[in-house]
Amino acid sequence: MTKVSFFGAAGEVTGSNFLIETEERKYVVDCGLFQGSDQNTEHNDEPLAYNAEEIEAVVVTHAHLDHIGRLPVLVKNGFKGPIYMTAATAELTGLVLKDAFHIMMSNFERREGEEQKPMLYEEADLNRTLDMFKPIPYHKPQTLFGEDSVTLFDAGHILGSSSALVRAGEKTLVFSGDLGHWPNTLLPHPDKIGAADMVITEATYGGVEREKKQDKLEVIKSAIDWVQERHGVLLIPAFSVERSQELLYLLHELNKLHQLPHMPIYFDSPLGIEALEVFKHHQELYSAEVKKEESTDREIFDFSGLVITPTSDESKEINDEPPPKIIIAGSGMMDGGRIAHHLKRYISHPNTLLLVVGYQAEGTLGRAIVDGAKEIMITDDRIPVHAKVEVVDIFSGHADNDDLIEWLKNIHLSTGGKVVIVHSDPDRSKVYCDELKKIMPQTDISVAVIGESVGI
């Protein structure tokens, strides 16, 4: 028997970590951080639920922190095998892990003298982790051990993201990773995958149909017009990888259409700026439409008025520029990062528009604002919220209910095959599970439970 155990993203969205066990081998798919509430993040300090020294190989689906953030913890605990992922994921993962380590170290040093838990890992663990990366291309099987193998398929979620088909112990397991929403601004449609005995599928937006009437360019143009009319500030908290680059591309498109007013647009995200370079030299991963445009316009992420601010001093100078202006900054969920400083300065102003374009996990500052908080705490200061807050889920990089079902229907499940739902809030996973049972009445469908296993 081959079994999969769920040690993260089970009954919640973050912390993806799945253990595959056959009679002879053990593999891990993703090893991410828990994010959101204090209760969630406390799980990061707990010991791994398995012996890291026994793991033969790791497969990484993509470079978001909730899928990669505990890789150095795995290495710290004795893992010595290869870590397989696409080349773009390897480059982005290196950037994201280094950034996360510096934030962790800064937070630790800031609390020096206080009673606190040790850091999750040391820089030496991080460096060893980076040395274990083994980039592999899409669609080409990579041998793990013996007859076991992994094949990566484009998941259309972020640059280099994958769904993983793992053949282990004579069984075929498909891990969706995070699936992209179609149409995607920059990336192609997720690949179709042939056959499987078990599918482990995300359902971040299970049971939710995204509003399809909105157009991304129209949303951005409307937001820009709003702040221009009021001489205000447009704040866009954006994830450093994918969402930030997508926004730059869309602003470039508006500029080409002569619909971008004259005002400074600040890209204030050091990690996002570094990630932009990865996007520029992995053009082979773009959709056919973007490839065609890129062949005639080499600067698809640049336009008049764009100001890139990698250093702290350059970031501080944004305050010197009078409105109207646009600021794109991390973090996407507004917990820390440079967006926190801009929120502190501008969220109390009624002529500020906070455009929320990404998922806001429970327990984050972003979720509190989206849920209607009248005031927020930033660096021990209580700030009233008078800004206009607009939430648009059209920018989400996650598949909605229709996308998820379309992807799943293209996989031929073997007789007795199983579907396990992960990476979803309990209410959404239940709705999605109930819907799948109606569509696939002969299939064993369940929602993953943390710490439990499913065999095939």
Which residues, including other chains, have CB under 8 Å from residue 434's CB and lie 6 or more apart?
A: none
In 14-168, which residue ranges form alpha helices assigned H by DSSP? 38-41, 65-68, 71-76, 87-110, 123-131
Tokens linked to 419: 């579907």
Please list the ranges in the chain whose pLDDT falls under 70.
37-40, 113, 211-214
216-395 and 3-208+397-455 share a CATH fold: no
User: Among 197, 162, 189, which Cα is nearest to 177's?
Assistant: 162
What pLDDT is recorded for position 380? Answer: 85
| Cα radius of gyration rounded to whole Å, the chain | 22
* CA nearest neighbour of 337 among 160, 157, 103: 103
Kindly report the CATH class assigned to 3-208+397-455: alpha beta
pLDDT of residue 310: 96
| pTM: predicted TM-score of the whole model, two decimal places | 0.94
Distance CA 334, CA 340 (A): 6
pLDDT at 108: 82
Looking at domain 216-395, does it have CATH number 3.30.565.10? no
What per-residue confidence (pLDDT) applies to 358? 85
Question: Residue 124, CB half-sphere, CA atoms under 13 Å: how many?
Answer: 3
- List the domain boundaries for the chain: 3-208+397-455, 216-395
pLDDT single digits (tens) 330-356: 988 898 889 999 999 999 999 999 999
